[in-house]
Amino acid sequence: MTASRRAICGKLAREWEGSPLIIIKNLSLAFGEKTILKNINWLVTEGSRIGLVGDNGVGKSTFLRILSGLFESDDGTVEYDRGATLGYLPQDLVELGSGKVIDFLRESAGLSSLQSALEEVAEKISSSAENSAGLKSALALHERLERDFSHKGGYEFDSTAKKVLGGLGFAAADSERPCTEFSGGWRMRIALASVLIQAPDILLLDEPTNHLDTESMEWLEGWLRDHRGIIIFVSHDRRFLEHMATEIADMTRGEITTYSMGYDKYLIEKEAARERLERAAQDQRERIEHTRRFIERFRYKSSKATQVQSRIKQLEKMEIFETDSADKTVKIVFPEAPRSGYDIVSAHGISKSYGNHEIFSNADIEIKRGERVALVGVNGAGKSTLMRILSGTEAPDSGSVKLGHNVKLAYFSQESAQNLDYSHTIWEEASRTGSTMTEAARRSLLGAFLFSGDDIKKPVSVLSGGEKSRLALFKLMLSDSNFLILDEPTNHLDMNSREIFQHALLQYGGTLLLVSHDRFFLDNLALRVLEIRDARMRSYPGNYSYFIERRAAAMTTTTVSLSEPETADLKEKRRLEASERNRLYRERKVFLDRIAPVEAEISKSEARRDEIDSLLCRPEALAETGRVQNLMIERGEIEETLASDYALWEELSGKLEKIK
């Protein structure tokens, strides 16, 4: 960090309450002309929970690899307290081998070799002569091995492994399955389980929540809160950062600035520091300009020579403030959503199974205009399956799905980058959205989705899976829709892009159904939560945090009700709630029954109008003057009917919406 930057931003002072476990001295690294680390000096003390943050590509993962010992720096050292153990979870997929999950976990913990050694020594003891020198040596070795085995948690290993695997979403029988049977995301969970079970003194975690569902994230937070050692982690999950970090380490231009506070406070402090630095830089620019004008004005006057030379030297010695310019403000605005009917989608009695595995059975789902619904459940519960069924890309085994009047659906799938022509470049695809957005605005928006400069000339065919997903999301945002179904839309977006996208969705005038593992994203968007659990659907009003509270309360109530009879007050409360629901249903049904035929008549009229428009484009029809005249008269009558029906529909819909 430059002296000027320290003077303005301030490197927050820290009182070292425990002995440092990690001592980093003069750490430097560069890739060609790009500086990754610039003379880093840092002490990390026992019990620290540090969130490592910074823009994509600044070198966070590389820094963790250096700390883990898997990568060498150009200069400097990393020292650990003697005897400290270290666990490292990389962001990329790791090789687990072909053995069983439980065997991999034992091997990773160093227990397999110890167990074999113990068995071998035990056999030697049983075959040794009594009181022989060999027996004494074997007994001493057995005692030492047993002590190591106990220290590594060997005796409680199976219990701990079961608890960790269960918390990360594995079924009880999964521990006996070969690692090769699991997908990449589940293999990363196995690697995470391995690191957690070992409970090292220092935990280095690179995006530990990337492959977790929201329930597993909450479990992981609870587990890590009980961890007594150091935790240094990288994450793009804002909620995870806020819940876990007691200190933030900001990587910017090869330097690390520490903030002894949580993530939300860090954001405020960093912005304040940036503003202070920008003001100082502006003052400095004005002083430089004033000095240069003086030099130019009096450069050739002998009476001012000494003063001119003095100012020239001042400029040469001046250390220029380096500012972190605020992220370029990019605003994403969805096109105005066309007006739809009040009922967006209605699914009745839908069931879906894959082989003997039942996803959900006889489920009913209703989504109304303007709702923002979050779909949650553990991995494998059927969230993506339900979205495919509601979007019409997959059929249920039984039941029906019906879209409402004038619903224009757009679907983003996490499994494939849909709506992309692989023969086009990024820019060609970006230009085929049908949006009236200017070229400059389109380029700016592409930048928010991490496509800039010459990147936009790349063919779609050479893009990574994440890049294809981001491009498909970009196109989706500019589509003419009033019902968005989004399956993990933020998976490949950095924090800044997520916030921009979230703001756009909050301004979106249509209806939203989304799946996301980003709890901050869900919390700010969802007005209702739909949970898939045990092949059943449960609906909770409110945002994600309220859903967590309600679910916990519901589970507690269920547990109590198994052993205690319902009180009279509780029965009366439930009776009144049921009565209120029935009243609202009856009132709503009156208007729904009146709206349905109006919507049917509108659909019929619109279909005939479109048919007439098609006929009027045909040369053979235009050749008959009388026929054209009759078609135009009929079309005018249809427009009058539609105007009347639209007005009635708006009136009935407005009254329906007032029934809460």
Mean pLDDT score of the chain: 81
DSSP string covering 471-490: HHHHHHHTS--SEEEEESTT
Task: Say which residue the tokens 């890309």 belong to.
Answer: 393
pLDDT tens column, 617-645: 777 777 777 788 888 888 888 988 888 88
pLDDT tens column, 40-50: 999 998 889 99
Q: What is the pLDDT of residue 660?
A: 56
Is pLDDT of 367 > 50? yes
Chain center to CA of 482:
24
| DSSP SS3 for 82 | coil
Would you call 470 exposed, middle or buried from its count of C-beta atoms within 10 A (0-12, 13-18, 19+)? buried
Task: Name residue 363's beta-bridge partners.
Answer: 350
**Per-residue confidence band for 558, with pLDDT thresholds at 50, 70 and 90:** very low
Q: What is the pLDDT of residue 438?
A: 78
Of the two residues 207 and 147, the one the predictor is more confident about is: 207
Domain ranges (residues) in the chain: 1-85+200-326, 343-561, 568-657
Of the two residues 184 and 21, the one the predictor is more confident about is: 21
Q: What is the pLDDT of residue 512?
A: 94
Can you tell me the distance from the alpha carbon of 615 to that of 634, in angstroms, rounded to the nearest whole number?
12
pLDDT tens column, 457-484: 888 888 766 677 778 888 887 888 899 9
**Per-residue confidence band for 133, with pLDDT thresholds at 50, 70 and 90:** low
Task: Name residue 31's beta-bridge partners.
Answer: 34
**Per-residue confidence band for 514, with pLDDT thresholds at 50, 70 and 90:** very high
Q: What is the pLDDT of residue 570?
A: 54
DSSP state of 129: P
Q: What is the pLDDT of residue 327?
A: 47
DSSP state of 174: G
Distances (CA, A) of 286 to 9, 217, 290, 314, 542: 20, 50, 6, 14, 52
Q: Between vectors from CA 466 to CA 472 and to CA 207, what angle results, nearest 5°?
A: 135
Is pLDDT of 2 > 60? no
Chain center to CA of 16:
34
Q: What is the pLDDT of residue 35?
A: 87
DSSP string covering 138-168: HHHHHHHHHHHHHHTT-TTHHHHHHHHHHHT
Tell me if the domain spanning 1-85+200-326 has CATH number 3.90.1150.10.
no
Two tokens, residue 522: 């869900």
Most confident of 14-18, 324-328, 397-401: 397-401
Phi-psi region of 583 (alpha: psi -120 to 50; beta: other; left: phi over 0): alpha
Task: Say which residue the tokens 């005018």 belong to.
Answer: 636
**Per-residue confidence band for 582, with pLDDT thresholds at 50, 70 and 90:** low
Mean per-residue pLDDT for 599-608?
Answer: 85
Q: Give the range among 4-18, 230-244, 577-591 with minimum mean pLDDT.
A: 4-18
DSSP state of 100: B
**Per-residue confidence band for 9, with pLDDT thresholds at 50, 70 and 90:** very low
DSSP state of 329: P
Q: Give the range among 331-335, 502-506, 595-599 with minimum mean pLDDT.
A: 331-335
**Per-residue confidence band for 10, with pLDDT thresholds at 50, 70 and 90:** very low
Q: Same fold for the domain at 1-85+200-326 and the one at 343-561?
A: yes
Two tokens, residue 314: 């001042």
Q: What is the pLDDT of residue 571?
A: 57
Q: Domain 343-561: give its CATH superfamily.
A: P-loop containing nucleotide triphosphate hydrolases (3.40.50.300)
Can you tell me the distance from the alpha carbon of 228 to that of 318, in angstroms, rounded to the nearest whole number?
47
Can you tell me the distance from the alpha carbon of 471 to that of 452, in angstroms, rounded to the nearest whole number?
12
Mean per-residue pLDDT for 71-97?
Answer: 86
Q: What is the pLDDT of residue 436?
A: 67
Per the CB < 8 A criterion, the answer to whether 468 and 513 are in contact is no
Of the two residues 193 and 12, the one the predictor is more confident about is: 193
- Torsion, CA 287, CA 293, CA 298, CA 299, rounded to 10: 100
Q: In what order do the strands lie in the sheet with 528-533?
A: 409-412, 483-487, 511-515, 372-376, 528-533, 536-541
Helix 133-151 to helix 111-127 angle, to the nearest 10 degrees?
Answer: 160
Task: Say which residue the tokens 């490292």 belong to.
Answer: 88
In terms of pTM, does the model score above 0.75? no
How many CB atoms are closer than 10 A to CB 559? 10
Q: What is the pLDDT of residue 8?
A: 29
Can you tell me the distance from the alpha carbon of 291 to that of 314, in angstroms, rounded to the nearest whole number?
9
Two tokens, residue 15: 């009182």
Per the CB < 8 A criterion, the answer to whether 253 and 38 are in contact is yes
Is pLDDT of 435 > 70? no
Is pLDDT of 356 > 50? yes
Per the CB < 8 A criterion, the answer to whether 330 and 448 are in contact is yes
* Most distant CA pair in the chain, distance: 121
**Nearest to residue 499, comparing CAs of 482, 518, 513, 517?**
518
**Per-residue confidence band for 415, with pLDDT thresholds at 50, 70 and 90:** low
pLDDT tens column, 177-193: 998 888 778 888 999 99
**Per-residue confidence band for 64, with pLDDT thresholds at 50, 70 and 90:** very high
Q: What is the pLDDT of residue 21?
A: 85
Helix 465-477 to helix 495-507 angle, to the nearest 10 degrees?
Answer: 20
The residues, any chain, with a CB within 8 Å of residue 152's CB and separated by 6 or more, are 109, 110, 111, 114, 198
Q: What is the pLDDT of residue 103?
A: 87
Q: What is the pLDDT of residue 652?
A: 81
Q: What is the pLDDT of residue 575?
A: 59
Is pLDDT of 555 > 60? no
DSSP string covering 592-653: HHHHHHHHHHHHHHHHHHHHHHHHTTSHHHHT-HHHHHHHHHHHHHHHHHHHHHHHHHHHHH
Q: What is the pLDDT of residue 374?
A: 93
Instruction: Give percent above pLDDT 90 in the chain.
Output: 23
DSSP string covering 410-472: EEE-SSS-TT--TTSBHHHHHTTS-----HHHHHHHHHHTT--GGGGGSBGGGS-HHHHHHHH
Q: What is the pLDDT of residue 63?
A: 93
Mean per-residue pLDDT for 371-392?
Answer: 89
**Nearest to residue 437, comparing CAs of 532, 563, 555, 331?**
331
**Per-residue confidence band for 299, with pLDDT thresholds at 50, 70 and 90:** confident
Is pLDDT of 338 > 90? no
Distances (CA, A) of 617 to 142, 490, 604, 624: 93, 44, 20, 12
Can you tell me the distance from the alpha carbon of 106 to that of 90, in angstroms, rounded to the nearest whole number?
19
Q: What is the pLDDT of residue 323?
A: 65
